[in-house]
Amino acid sequence: MDDKRDVADLDVVVVGGGAAGLSAALTLARARRSVLVVDSGEPRNAPASGVHGFLSRDGLAPGELLRSGREEVAGYGGRIVPDFVTSARRTGERFVVDTASGRSYGARRLLVTTGLVDELPEVPGVRDRWGRDVLHCPYCHGWEVRDAPIGVLATGPGAVHQALLFRQWSPDVTVFLHTAGVLTEEQREQLAARGIALVAGEVVGLDIDDDHLSGVRLASGARVPVRALAVGPRFEARGEVLSGLGLTTVEHPLGVGSYVEADASGFTGVAGVWVAGNVTDLMAGVAVAAASGVQAAVAINADLVAADTAAAVARRAAAQAQQAFGPAAEAANCERVVAERRHGIETVLHPGHRSAD
């Protein structure tokens, strides 16, 4: 692939090839835009067995969803490069992204869909079981653990809300107070009213039997049987690539992590730069992330249409000016002057000529 050609020709570079990035690329390619997706191959949901709540794709393995998406984008002429973008910069009216492999790609517009990183509680075994039987989203995984004993690892005030949500899927929910601190009387009353047990003490490990979570171990030595453990990660947007454009992540209003601010279309406020998916919406599931990619693509195409139209108007005005003052126009003007003078002479020679009133 010729880097110079890429810099000169592309309409849009998409950084990140997850659900948001591929949906955006598909929409842009169908809009007859030249689009390149640069993807590092590190999807957030890789450990999960399936994507859930995505109409017509429920239960599909995350890798299979992305493979199918890449094929669809390529089918409309979009290109996908497996690489890691290290930086993005503006060069005149264009953007250039540099990659770990030493390549550079440029385009008129930039869309960043790099997602987020889940910062998990520091409990041995949690990271190894993440996305399998250590979970955080009941809408993604609740059906799969329905009616099973579910534990909730409390590391902050959001644990009570999480426990009340998971209670919708199972009557057997236990909150491990761990490092959450003291609950309010109202919170305790809510949990008690829903039959949710409270267990004091710090969790120090997980018990695994036959590659399945079977229980939680406490610092006291006690063991409590559970088949799933809900945790509350801190969500950190992967927004480093935007730093060269003056954009940084900010703390989310709910205190759950950091994100890149943007409007409903994904526009960041920096001309030519959009974001979509979890990098800007920390709570978005796969379907919502995909939809945000489409929204960003529609906004980007509209912006390019406006730019193309403005350029066409400017070219038309320049062409008209050239026609008005160019050699051809000058020759035509001379012919007109000569004709007018000849007509004037003829009028003098024929005094009987009268103009029409």
**pLDDT of 113 higher than 80:** yes
Decide: helix, strand or coil at residue 180: coil
Flag whether pLDDT at 342 surpasses 80. no
What pLDDT score does 321 carry?
85
Predicted pLDDT of residue 322:
82
Rounded Cα gap, residues 23 and 37, in angstroms: 11
The pLDDT value recorded for residue 328 is 63
Percent of the chain with pLDDT over 70: 90
What percent of the chain has pLDDT above 90?
85
pLDDT at site 286: 96
Rounded CA-CA distance 215/129 in Å is 12
pLDDT at 265 over 50: yes
User: Is residue 337's pLDDT more than 80?
Assistant: no
Residue 348: its pLDDT value, please? 45
**Among 107-111, 133-137, 180-184, 291-295, which is the least confidently predicted range?**
180-184
pLDDT of residue 329: 63
353/96: higher pLDDT: 96
pLDDT tens digits, residue range 5-31? Answer: 444 479 999 999 999 999 999 999 999
Partners of 257 in the β-ladder = 235
Give the per-residue pLDDT at 331.
67
pLDDT confidence of residue 347: 45
* Tens digit of each residue's pLDDT (9 = 90 or more) over 46-69: 999 999 999 999 999 999 999 999
- How far, in Å, CA of 332 to CA of 6, rounded? 45
DSSP assignment, residue 290? H
Q: What is the pLDDT of residues 201-225, one digit of tens each?
A: 999 999 999 999 999 999 999 999 9
Confidence (pLDDT) at 3: 42
Contact by Cβ (8 Å): 182, 157: no
Q: Sign of dihedral through CA atoms 327, 332, 333, 338?
A: positive
pLDDT of residue 48: 92
Average pLDDT over residues 227-249: 97
Compute the average pLDDT of residues 94-110. 96
Residue 257, helix vs strand vs coil: strand
Residue 355 has pLDDT above 80, yes or no: no
Res. 236: pLDDT tops 80 = yes
In this prediction, residue 9 carries a pLDDT of: 77
Cα–Cα distance between 23 and 218 in angstroms, integer?
44
Residue 284 predicted with pLDDT over 80: yes
pLDDT above 70 for 332: no
Distances from the Cα of 146 to the Cα of 43, 50, 352, angstroms: 26, 16, 109
Question: Is the predicted pLDDT of residue 34 greater than 70, yes or no?
Answer: yes
**The model's pTM:** 0.88
**Average pLDDT value for the chain:** 91
Nearest to 247 by CA among 278, 275, 281, 276: 275
